[in-house]
């Protein structure tokens, strides 16, 4: 069916070309570029004709349009897709566009479930890039533990400070049946409203039981949607990190669902990559993402940077690993404890991996490049104005502005094929999400006739990052044009003011949710008899009862 569809699109485009052989009927023509499509492995100098937001023809013949871009010496690539982008506001999207991104989605923190439709409405007609979100596990948990009003809960830029600053129950409380069902119903509501996935930050939630994580993934599985996960124990050791991956992968296989492992560029990454590759070969839709930096960034009240974990278990020293991104100064234990008490959502940079590993991550087959771009707290209307100069933005992790620039520079310096880098930046995320039935991703991430004209044009010899930890807001260079839904949004490396062709990336809304409340037995643990003495020597007592696990809700 897939090949038939491609053939049909090609035939239609061929017929269309006959009608466009002369004149300027194309809305836009990209001439003389090296057109590269990862799905078909097409790699040729050709002309691309665009009309009504779609690629109509790719041909070596001369074509004309109302607007022409000369791409001689440049690569014409599918638009880059970022599945882990927290600064979902105009100024954040401005950084993404300079890095070649045409679609930016927050599938790790996501949005508070009951406000997903409102989140999409907030973006409508106002976004320069395509936009999407998941239904947030952390925000739902915050609601049932801390009791914040819905008006305080939305997405990462708006709610992380309010949610994480409310106390410690959101992270540490072990949920009972009532709160567990309440949390799951909130996640379900976000999926009902069209969220792309379940977004889980379980690595920040030491109170979340194994049962909780399984049920969170089951809510997504009920809709045939993936869960995107900041793993339990991340950052950890090369054993605990892998154990965190094994948890969500086992859940996904048992549930017949997809899963995305966020930023697995941490200890244990070679084994996590092997697990993902082997499972994909067996037909499971599981994948992982990396960002090309040795350090991460988070809020200082993250459970994994508490002294008992960061110092005592993992052996780190604050003086060597925890940095203030604004001042560049490193923390001491005393400073950590002081700031934690006074401003618990302060952002810090954490150094955790050897820099020599970075190029290896960029070369991993099947991987996705995703920035984990950090945000400044804001609503939409009180956000930093998009015309603000880059150097006037408060300093942050360089992954906001330089993720793709870094990956393409490292690919060039380490002989990683450019087609592989393009695939990781565009086609791979589109393929994985499209396989879950997300139509908008089935027609993006590709340079093919009939596909949506989301296109990034880059200079393969010069594209590079410019940001570092001292100056994290210097944009990528070497990407002179970015086209979103057939409209030029970046021209000559300048983001155009007031151009907002971005479209929603989401599933259709449904009339009712699919979650069915769990019983106490289902929530607690097991389907073995409750009277078993697990310390008994008589192993016959460990035989399971005749009662079977209930089926997942239809």
Query: Per-residue pLDDT tens for 268-322?
Result: 999 999 999 999 999 999 999 999 999 999 999 999 999 999 999 999 999 999 9
Q: What is the dihedral of CA 121, 127, 133, 136, to 10 degrees?
A: -70
| pLDDT score of 489 | 98
Residue 369: enclosing H or E segment and its boundaries? strand 368-369
Smallest Cα–Cα separation from 505: which of 435, 424, 421, 443? 443
Write down the H helix ranges in 80-176: 90-98, 116-123, 137-146, 156-164, 169-172
What pLDDT is recorded for position 542?
Answer: 45
What is the number of other CB atoms lying within 10 angstroms of the CB of residue 88? 30
Rounded Cα distance between 196 and 288, Å, is 16
pTM: 0.91
* Below-50 pLDDT ranges, the chain: 1-19, 22, 527-550, 552-554
Which pLDDT belongs to residue 20? 54
Listed in sequence order, the DSSP H helices in 414-553 are 418-422, 428-434, 439-442, 520-524
CA dist 124 → 200, 387, 442 (Å): 25, 20, 21
Q: What number of other Cβ atoms are within 10 A of residue 210's Cβ?
A: 12
Query: CA 433, CA 438: separation in Å to the nearest integer?
Result: 6
Please say whether the dihedral angle defined by the alpha carbons of residues 323, 329, 330 and 333, taken in this order, is positive or negative: negative
Is the peptide bond between 241 and the residue preceding it cis, with omega within 30 degrees of 0? no
């Amino acid at each position: 069916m897939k090949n038939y569809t491609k053939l049909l699109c090609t035939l239609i485009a061929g017929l269309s070309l006959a009608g466009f052989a002369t004149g300027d009927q194309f809305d836009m023509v990209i001439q003389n570029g090296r057109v590269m499509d990862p799905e078909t492995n097409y790699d040729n100098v050709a002309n691309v004709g665009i009309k009504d937001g779609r690629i109509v023809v790719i041909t070596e013949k001369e074509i004309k349009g109302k607007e022409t871009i000369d791409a001689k010496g440049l690569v014409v690539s599918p638009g880059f897709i970022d599945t882990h982008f927290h600064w979902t506001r105009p100024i954040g999207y401005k950084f993404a566009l300079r890095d070649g991104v045409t679609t930016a989605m927050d599938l790790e923190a996501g949005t508070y479930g009951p406000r997903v439709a409102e989140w999409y409405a907030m973006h409508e007609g106002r976004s320069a890039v395509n936009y999407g979100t998941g239904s947030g596990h952390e925000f739902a948990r915050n609601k049932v533990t801390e009791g914040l009003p819905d008006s305080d809960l939305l997405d990462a830029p708006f709610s992380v400070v309010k949610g994480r600053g409310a106390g410690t129950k959101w992270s540490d409380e072990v949920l009972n049946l009532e709160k567990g069902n309440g949390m799951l119903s909130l996640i379900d509501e976000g999926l009902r409203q069209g969220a792309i996935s379940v977004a889980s930050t379980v690595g920040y939630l030491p109170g979340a039981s194994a049962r909780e994580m399984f049920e969170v993934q089951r809510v997504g599985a009920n809709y045939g949607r993936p869960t995107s996960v900041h793993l339990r124990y991340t950052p950890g050791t090369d054993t605990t990190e892998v154990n965190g991956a094994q948890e969500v992968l086992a859940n996904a296989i048992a549930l017949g669902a997809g899963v995305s492992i966020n930023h697995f560029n941490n200890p244990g990454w070679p084994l996590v990559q092997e697990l993902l590759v082997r499972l994909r070969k067996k037909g499971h839709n599981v994948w992982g993402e990396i960002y090309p930096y040795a350090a991460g960034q988070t809020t200082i009240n993250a459970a994994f940077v508490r002294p008992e974990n960061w110092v005592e278990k993992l052996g780190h020293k604050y003086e060597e690993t925890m940095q203030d991104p604004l001042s560049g100064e490193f923390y001491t234990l005393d400073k950590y404890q002081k700031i934690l008490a006074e401003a618990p959502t302060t952002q810090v940079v954490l150094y955790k991996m050897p820099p020599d590993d970075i190029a290896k991550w960029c070369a991993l087959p099947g991987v996705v490049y995703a920035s984990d771009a950090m945000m400044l707290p804001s609503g939409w209307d009180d956000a930093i104005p998009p015309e603000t100069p880059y150097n006037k933005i408060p300093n942050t992790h360089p992954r906001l502005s330089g993720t793709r620039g870094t990956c393409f520079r490292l690919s060039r310096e380490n002989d990683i094929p450019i087609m592989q880098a393009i695939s990781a930046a565009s086609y791979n995320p589109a393929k994985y999400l499209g396989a879950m039935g997300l139509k908008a991703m089935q027609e993006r991430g590709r340079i093919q006739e009939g596909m949506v004209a989301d296109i990034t044009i880059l200079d393969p010899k010069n594209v590079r990052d410019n940001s570092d930890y001292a100056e994290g807001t210097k944009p990528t260079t070497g990407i002179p044009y970015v086209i979103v839904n057939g409209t030029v949004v970046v021209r000559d490396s300048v983001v155009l003011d007031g151009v907002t062709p971005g479209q929603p990336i989401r599933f259709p809304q449904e009339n009712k949710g699919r979650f069915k409340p769990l019983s106490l037995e289902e929530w607690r643990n097991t389907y073995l008899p409750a009277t078993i003495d697990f310390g008994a020597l008589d192993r016959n007592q460990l035989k399971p009862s005749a009662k079977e696990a209930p089926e997942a809700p239809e």
